[in-house]
Structure 1
């Protein structure tokens, strides 16, 4: 029996994720009404099937796959829930666990089961295989995973409750997105002082994979008492150059949470991370 998805909506990521599902024989519907020419072109190229309306798409679907900008996630869910849909709603947007659970509660009020999904990585295609993490009802998670078997989307079930996949996305993106922004600020500061070429040379010599180097975190905490004042100097330098100092100021504030860990290089990673939590 063919599994049918309604994809909301075929953007740069969603269209290609939906297109991968079609490779397993999954039927993927989308609603062309009101969509831009670029969206329609993406949907056609991905092999998605147009539906006359959202109502008709939902009536034919086993799953809804929501892949939209984070700020629109709840609006998209509310729109679906105005229809008599009784399938499974897969919330695959970059949203907080709290927002995920709010959408799940709204689904439950309409007797709709929801799965928590998170896409990590770029759009699928040759040389790019994003991971689709899924948490929630194990049977339905397995059904979604089968729709992407042997495609350029690697479905990774999590044996965890709703909110786990979203939390993973938030944890990963908090580093990845912030690092890109921080790089822009760093290069802007170097350029304002005429040392852009030298910064690029130093950048090219970097060999660390900071997010993976958790064994270095106790050392960071132990030196935080010295690093925080340095970050405050960086913030002052940025302000003088007319550049945003928010990230440097924020980093200094985080480092101050490790004040009591001064020179304690032998602390376990778990304890170091615990010290970042707000008391109370």
Structure 2
């Protein structure tokens, strides 16, 4: 029997992801009412089927796949539940574990089953695509994963409850998106002093895969006592040319949480993480020492 899915909504990510599900023989519906011409065209190119209304789409759907802007996630979920949907609701937006837990409770109260989903990577194109992580009720997770079997959106079920998939996305995005912003600020500072080309050259020399190098975190904690004041200097340099110093100041504040770990290069990773949860007092003058 053909599985039917309502996709909300056919945006730059949602439409091609829904199109991948359609490749498996899944009937993927969307509601063109209220959508702009670009969304409707994306849906057409992805092979999605237009429905007359959200009510009519939900009435024949086994699953809902929600891929929308994060701020709209709860409103979209409640709109679906108000129509009496009782199937599997795949919440695949970039939202916090707490928010997805609230949506899960609302689903349970209305008789629907929530699957916590997170999409990591860019929209599917050219034979490659993002990974779709899924957590929650095992049967519902398996049902959602089956939509993408053999497609360019590999589904990766997690043996965990609601909140796990969203936590993974939040953790990944906190690094990946912040790193892009930080790179832009760094280049703006370099350009302000006429050394943009040199910074670009240094950037090309980088080989580190920072997010995959957890074994380096103890050395970061061990050097935090001298990195924190360096970040304050960077904040001052940014402020002097009218650039936002916020990220540098925030880094300094985080580094100060490791202020008691000076030179502890053998600090266990669990302690490195635990000390991040321990606030410290106001910044104080650090002992003089080399930077690096």
Q: Quickly name the TM-score band, shorter chain normalised.
A: over 0.9
Aligned match of 1:59: 59
Aligned match of 1:208: 208
Which structure 2 residues correspond to residues 111-150 of structure 1 after superposition, within 5 A? Answer: 111-150=111-150
Distance 2:189 2:263 in 1: 31
Distance 1:86 1:205 in 2: 54
| SS of residue in 1 equivalent to 2:123 | coil
Which structure 2 residues correspond to residues 188-207 of structure 1 after superposition, within 5 A? Answer: 188-207=188-207
- Say whether 1:20 aligns with 2:59: no
Aligned match of 1:73: 73
- Say whether 1:218 aligns with 2:218: yes
Which structure 2 residues correspond to residues 129-278 of structure 1 after superposition, within 5 A? Answer: 129-278=129-278
Aligned match of 1:11: 11
**CA deviation vs aligned residue, 1:153-188 (integer Å, no higher than 9, x gap):** 010000000000000000000000000000000000
Distance 1:169 1:278 in 2: 24
Check conservation: 1:122, 1:128, Cα contact below 8 A. no
| SS of residue in 1 equivalent to 2:102 | helix
Shift of 1:127: 4.4
Distance 2:38 2:202 in 1: 40
Which structure 2 residues correspond to residues 77-96 of structure 1 after superposition, within 5 A? Answer: 77-96=77-96
Distance 1:137 1:229 in 2: 47
Distance 1:204 1:144 in 2: 40
**Runs of 4 or more off by more than 6 Å in structure 1?**
none
TM-score with structure 1 length normalisation?
Answer: 0.98
TM-score with structure 2 length normalisation?
Answer: 0.94
Check conservation: 2:113, 2:140, Cα contact below 8 A. no
Shift of 1:278: 3.6
Distance 2:64 2:145 in 1: 14
**CA deviation vs aligned residue, 1:53-81 (integer Å, no higher than 9, x gap):** 00000001000000000000011011111
Aligned match of 2:35: 35
Shift of 1:129: 2.0
Distance 2:12 2:128 in 1: 14
